[in-house]
Amino acid sequence: MGRTLVIGDIHGGLKALQQVFERAEVMDDDQLIFLGDYVDGWSESSQIIQFLIELSKKQKCIFIKGNHDAWAEDWLSAGTGPEVWLFNGGQSTVESYADFSHQDKKIHLDFFREMKNYHVDSRNRLFIHAGYSSMHGPEKEVYSSNYRWDRTLWETAAAMDKKLSKNSELYPKRLLLYHEIFIGHTPTLYIGSKTPVNKANIWNMDTGAAFTGALSVMDIETKECWQSDPLPLLYPDEKGRNV
């Protein structure tokens, strides 16, 4: 059995994924856990999905669904998407599917539909795109959209007093449910970091690949991390989600 590697938000950056896989020397016996937001941003969203479909045929992969993936899934299903999605990277996704046949789009739609809302491993580590609001964990979440949109979990951990003991009545109960939690969704660039950030027992793997940051991969056991070049360097003629 190889390593278990967790991968942050990709946002259409196939070049970054291929580069960081080379740097991490990913092998076929490594298990790969993707935290979502595969699409919307750089120009290769459909190519990313095709790459992941092929990748999953040769090694164990777990694909978590992000908010941008849910948008893309709706578009592939209905043929239309909301303006807010198109403005936030969706237009590049639509354009990337220009040469895809109806059957190929159906294969991708099935792939989106099969993505997981979250994953808990044998060591009680949670992998989820954004977060959850229920005090009893994501399995008791009333609003499933929180899996892909919630930022309160991360904001709670980021704002905590580092000296706060887990035995304290003030310690956030949501954080006590899991040994570790791995998330994406909220770029670490927002708090001035270009690398994955650990707050309490949460690891934030979204290092801003949609914007000016890099794509990050981490070994969940050793916490060794690998990064691609910043995405604007890999796509010099594109803006990604930078406005």
Q: What is the pLDDT of residue 174?
A: 96
Q: What is the pLDDT of residue 65?
A: 98
Instruction: Name beta bridge partners: 31.
Output: 4
Q: Mean pLDDT, the chain, as a whole number?
A: 97
Residues 6 or more apart whose CB falls under 8 angstroms from that of 151 comprise 130, 131, 185, 186
User: Computed from CA positions of residues 213, 215, 218, 224, in that sequence, does the dihedral angle turn out positive or negative?
Assistant: negative
Q: What is the pLDDT of residue 83?
A: 96
Q: What is the pLDDT of residue 173?
A: 95
Give 204-221 pLDDT, tens digit per residue.
Answer: 999 999 999 999 999 999
Residue matched to tokens 């304290």: 168
Give 41-90 pLDDT, tens digit per residue.
Answer: 999 999 999 999 999 999 999 999 999 999 999 999 999 999 999 999 99
Task: Give the separation between CA 7 and CA 116, rounded to whole angstroms.
Answer: 15
- Per run of 10 residues, the mean pLDDT along the chain (length 243 residues) is 96 98 98 98 98 98 98 96 96 97 98 98 98 95 96 97 93 97 98 98 98 98 98 98 90
Residue 10 · residue 40 · CB < 8 Å: no
Q: Is the pTM of this model over 0.95?
A: yes
Task: Give the separation between CA 2 and CA 7, rounded to whole angstroms.
Answer: 16
Give which of 174, 101, 162 is closest to 134, Cα–Cα: 174
